[in-house]
Structure formats: C-alpha cells, structure tokens
Amino acid sequence: MTDTTLPTLEKSAVEEFRTEFRGELIEPGDEAYEEARTVYNAMIDKKPALIARCADTADVIAAVNFDREHGLALAVRGGGHNGAGLGMCDDGLVIDLSRMRGIRVDPASRTVRVEGGATWGDVDHATHAFGLATPSGIISTTGVGGLTLGGGLGHLTRKCGLSIDNLLSVDMVLADGSFATASADENEDLFWAVRGGGGNFGVVTSFEFRLHPIHTIIGGPTLWDLDQAPEVMRWYRDFIADAPEDLNGFFAFLTVPPGPPFPEELHMKKMCGVVWCYAGPGEKADEVFAPVREFGPPALHGVQAMPYPVLQSAFDGLYTPGLQWYWRADFITELSDEAIERHMEYAEVPTLHSLMHLYPIDGAAHRVGKTDTPWSYREARWGMVIAGVDPDPANNERVMAWARDYWGAIHPHSSGGAYVNMMMEEGQDRVKASYRDNYERLAEVKRRHDPANLFRVNQNIEPREVNARGSETRPE
Ligand SMILES: Cc1cc2nc3c(=O)[nH]c(=O)nc-3n(C[C@H](O)[C@H](O)[C@H](O)COP(=O)(O)OP(=O)(O)OC[C@H]3O[C@@H](n4cnc5c(N)ncnc54)[C@H](O)[C@@H]3O)c2cc1C
C-alpha cells in the first residue's frame, strides 16, 4: 500500500486548481477550515492539506485528477458520520460533497435520484411529500453516501431490505477521472461492488433508489426494567423471527433521556427496550402489536402513529454532532441463552449516550443472495453495535473500555465479521472477515478500476495484484 502522508502542496498548484473549480477550496489558515475539517465523531481530529468542497460533478472530476497528479492521500466526505472518521484524512485532499445535496423524486416511476452529499433527512423530506420512502438508517443526519455504500440497516430493513437492495444505479467518478454510470445493465462489476464495498471504487456523485409507498408508520419505543432484560431478549429473539415483515424492531440497552416525551420517573434510568416501526396497513396494527402488549408489563409503551420522517429523526436531538464515539460491531446469527447472560454483564450502559443495539437482518434482506452483493452476511439475524458515547473526552477511557470489554465478551458468540459501517479502523483481517468470500471479487473489481488504491481512506479493499506470469500476488 502506498504511503498516506503527503508532500506540502505548492501554492501555485492550488491557485491553478482554483481556476477550474466552482466550489470552495479550503486550506489550513482559512476561516472556514476548522469547521470544514470537523466530523460528527469528536474523537476524530484530522488535518487535511486541502478541502475541495465540490459544487458539481465537474468539480469532483477536477479534484480526483488534482489528487492523483499530486500524489496526495484522498478522503471523500459524504455526511461525515463515519465512526472511524473515514470521511477525513491527515495531510491529504478531502473531496467534500456537502454542497451536493440535490434530490429529484419521480413519483411516477417511484424512484429518487440523490446527490452524493445528501443526508437521509434531505431524502426523507423530499420523498415524504409524495408519500414515499426508501430504507435508510435510524438518524436523519447520517449521510446517504457512506451509509448506502456500506449497506444500510434501518427501520425498514425487514419490509424493504437494506439500502443497497433498493439502489438502482449510481453515477461515479473513477480513480482515472473518468465518469461512469453503473446499474444492473451497465458497468455491472462496479454496480455489484458499490452495493456494500464502501467508497473503494470511486466518488459516487448520485444515487438512484427505488421508493415504497410509506407515509405514516406506527412506531416508537417499548421499555422494560433492566432486571427483566434476559426474559425480554429471549422473547424478542423468538418474536421478531416470525413477526410480519411490515414490523421492524431493534433491541437496545439504553439510558432514558432526561426530558419529554419520557415520564419523569424513568429519566436517566438504565433500561432495555425495542424501538418499533410498523409500516403496514393501519387496520392490522393492533393485531401485530398484540404480542408486544401481552408480553410482561412494560414500563413504557410509547408506540403511536407518526409520519415516517418523525421516527427517522426522533434520536437526532439526543445524538447531536460533537459527541465522542467509540464503536464495536459484529454480526449475530444465534442469540443463545449463554450470549444473553454475557450481554447482561454489560447491559448497564456507562453513560447517557452509550448504547448496544441489535438491528434485525431478515425478511426482505434475507431474500438477497450472499454473493448478489458484497454484503455477505445475509444469513445473520442481527447487526450488533456497541457504542461507548459521551460529550466529555475525559470519559473516553471509560466508555472505550466498556465497549471493548463488552465486545470481547460477545464476539465468541457472533458470526465473525461485522457491518463495515459500524467498525473503527480495525485492520485488514476484520475487513476480510466482513466480506468473507466476496472479498476476492471486490479486490478484482478494485484492481480493474483503482489499481493504485487511490481510494484507500475507507474500510479498504486492496487491489488484487497480478504478476507478469498472470498469477496473483497480494500487496504487502
Ligand atoms: C449517529 C449515527 C447513527 C447511525 N445509524 C446507522 C443506521 O441506522 N444504519 C446504518 O446502516 N448505519 C448507521 N450509521 C453508520 C453509518 O452508516 C456510517 O457511519 C457511514 O459511514 C456514514 O456515512 P456518511 O456519508 O455520513 O460518512 P462519511 O464519514 O462522510 O463517509 C464514510 C465513508 O463513506 C465514503 N463515502 C461517503 N460518501 C461517499 C460518496 N458519495 N462516494 C464515495 N464514497 C463516499 C467515505 O469516503 C468514507 O469512507 C450511523 C452512524 C452514526 C454516527
């Protein structure tokens, strides 16, 4: 792999670049620099040599060419939410897509075209006006770019699949500066690779998604006391397996936030819960939620009808930008009674914002084959994430130790790999474990389209190398 530290940029080179660039070029010392280099996770403190805040695809092409010609490390910033801070780099060039957020809904074909720097809040706002939605995550400020390219788990996974299962095409700028559209009928290798392979293959300037007729959902949390958690987990494990696909529900260990809509007696209480999203026919909702009501008395059953974007943004106020985040993740196929016992050792999350979530992966997401996209763990039943989170850096050691130890206790009960979007920088073995048998095919697509590994600030797929005799070698 090539070195990611960089030569100092020549002033004249930047000035020449500026003449062909429509957006903003932001350098250290510029007024906008500090804000522009800040990402969602405040634990990340990277200082790029230049930030190219692109206005359009032509700017992206110019920036990719400039980067390649000057041998700089290159990061691509979509929504800036990545836990490991992979939308930012030290010393190199950042292609910042935050100005490219245009959206065009086509209600007739039920599709939406979204520029590469949009957030899910932008998309929900645009599509909701037409009574339509596409699967995303659970926080509206997350970027469409990173979330989609890594897979996309959220409130609609069981009903509609992952975000990548609803991706119809992408427009991309490749490492050589060329432009490509990739879909099921065009540049099929790239289309396969971008559906889970992350930002390894180029800068996606726009995404086209399939939309579903989803306007109002019935959702919200059901919360139980922590001492009921083993029983709740066992019930949830069995219930969600056979629940109608219109119902999604992710399990959580959490602290109840100290404010409305939560009743005062629950404020700051450590609890367990399930956050539901029912997107089926309203008249069936009572029947679908009956087992939830019938299972033991919850401390709170806060489920109600609401516009889909309200649920999508319900946690935005709690998880504002600027918190310190440390992530660990794994796929879970069996949630055994023994694993539940291990969970209970860490169930009391250390701070208000720290969490453990189990996002269901079944229903529509299970109907896509393991090799149909790079997202290999189609047989897994949950994407588990453990996040140690707090506003105060003084608590970093404590929340990180909790997340590491918790993960260490559960990992032996996991499927091995993890969802790439919920990992820190954990090394090549972890990346390979996450793609399993699909890694080699990804490495071959990477060799074809980015042999010099220009796009390497990500969960990196190293290009497969072929020697003079035509046999394969692996890069050091
Ligand atoms: C609070 C929070 C909640 C989350 N909830 C969910 C969830 O519910 N479901 C889920 O699946 N994930 C979730 N995630 C994880 C999220 O998917 C990843 O953090 C993802 O990387 C964020 O994408 P981004 O564009 O905001 O990030 P960035 O930091 O901008 O980018 C992340 C990576 O994607 C690449 N990238 C981004 N945009 C492009 C593009 N247009 N072209 C090429 N490469 C690009 C970057 O180069 C980088 O490698 C959550 C994250 C946070 C912080």
What single letter denotes the amino acid at residue 329? A
Distance separating alpha carbons of residues 340 and 234, to the nearest angstrom: 8
pLDDT tens for each residue of 208-235: 999 999 999 999 999 999 999 999 999 9
Among residues 359, 219, 358, 234, the alpha carbon closest in space to that of 296 is found at 234
Q: Using alpha carbons, list the distances in angstroms from residue 172 to 73, 146, 264, 439.
A: 19, 14, 50, 21
Closest to 142 measured CA to CA, from 422, 451, 444:
422
Q: What is the best residue among 113, 142, 204, 331 to mutate for testing ligand 1's pocket, by most ligand atoms within 8 Å of CB?
A: 142
pLDDT for residue 175: 98
- The crossing angle, in degrees rounded to 10, of helices 11-19 and 57-70 is 160
**Tell me, what's the pLDDT at 8?**
63
Residue 467: per-residue pLDDT:
56
Tell me the CATH class for 103-210. Answer: alpha beta
Atom of ligand 1 nearest to the CA of 457: 49
- Residues having CB closer than 6 A to ligand 1 are 40, 75-83, 86-87, 97, 116, 137-139, 142-143, 145-147, 149-154, 198-199, 203-204, 319, 421-422, 458
- Closest atom of ligand 1 relative to the 458 alpha carbon: 49
Mean pLDDT of the 128-139 span = 98
Phi and psi at residue 247, to the nearest 5°: -105, 125
The string of pLDDT tens digits covering residues 327-356 is: 999 999 999 999 999 999 999 999 999 999
Q: State the chain's mean pLDDT as an integer.
A: 95
Residue 302 is predicted with a pLDDT of 94
| Interval between CA 145 and ligand 1 midpoint (Å) | 6
- Name the CATH architecture for the domain at 11-96: 2-Layer Sandwich (3.30)
475's CB contacts (< 8 A; 6+ apart) are 1, 453, 462, 463, 465
Distance from chain centroid for Cα 30: 30
Q: 217-422 has which fold?
A: Vanillyl-alcohol Oxidase; Chain A, domain 3 (3.40.462)
Per-residue H/E/C for 297-361: CCCEECCEEEEHHHHHCCCCCCCCCCCEEEEEEEEECCCCHHHHHHHHHHCCCCCCCCEEEEEEC
pLDDT above 90 for 188: yes
Q: Which residue lies with its CA nearest to atom 49 of ligand 1?
A: 458
Fold matches, 11-96 and 103-210: no
Q: Which of 196, 217, 266, 235 is nearest to 459 (CA)?
A: 196
- 449 Cα to the center of ligand 1, angstroms: 22
pLDDT for 286 equals: 95
- Centre of ligand 1 from the C-alpha of residue 392, in Å: 23
Give the domain ranges of the chain: 11-96, 103-210, 217-422
pTM for the model: 0.96
Model confidence at 6: pLDDT above 50:
no
Cα 424 to chain centroid, rounded: 12
